[in-house]
């Protein structure tokens, strides 16, 4: 399959859960599963771990401040690893992908 055909095929599944298999070895060769966030000519982005929803809306234990608050014990901080993760994979390293039949 040419890169153009692969890119066209991938674009049909943006917003859906897919598994991308790469030409790399080790654990990364087992595939990356996530929501396909974007596809361009060079790479794709997968949301592989969703972050938690904000737990400090206005009027909460954060004292109503918008933005950073050093006194906030919120779960959506970098220290608690609640921000999620994104995996970027070069198109040239994709061996194949799976998706739901729709």
In order of their start, the domains of the chain are 3-52+83-99 (2.30.30.100)
pLDDT at 55: 65
Return averaged pLDDT per consecutive 10 residues of the chain, 102 residues in all.
84 94 83 93 91 64 50 48 81 91 76
Predicted local confidence at residue 47, as pLDDT: 92
Token code pair at residue 99? 């998706």
Cα 73 to Cα 46, 49, 59, 76, distances in angstroms: 29, 22, 14, 9
Backbone angles phi, psi at 46, to 5 degrees: -115, 135
Residue 50, pLDDT score: 80
């Amino acid at each position: 399959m040419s890169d153009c055909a692969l890119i066209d095929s991938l674009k049909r599944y943006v917003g859906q859960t897919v598994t991308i298999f790469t030409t790399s070895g080790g654990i990364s060769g087992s595939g990356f599963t996530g929501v396909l966030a974007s596809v361009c000519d060079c790479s794709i982005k997968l949301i592989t771990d969703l972050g938690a929803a904000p737990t400090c809306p206005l009027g909460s234990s954060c004292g109503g401040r918008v933005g950073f608050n050093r006194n906030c014990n919120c779960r959506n901080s970098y220290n608690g690893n609640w921000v999620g993760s994104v995996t970027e994979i070069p198109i040239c390293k994709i061996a194949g992908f799976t998706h739901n039949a729709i």
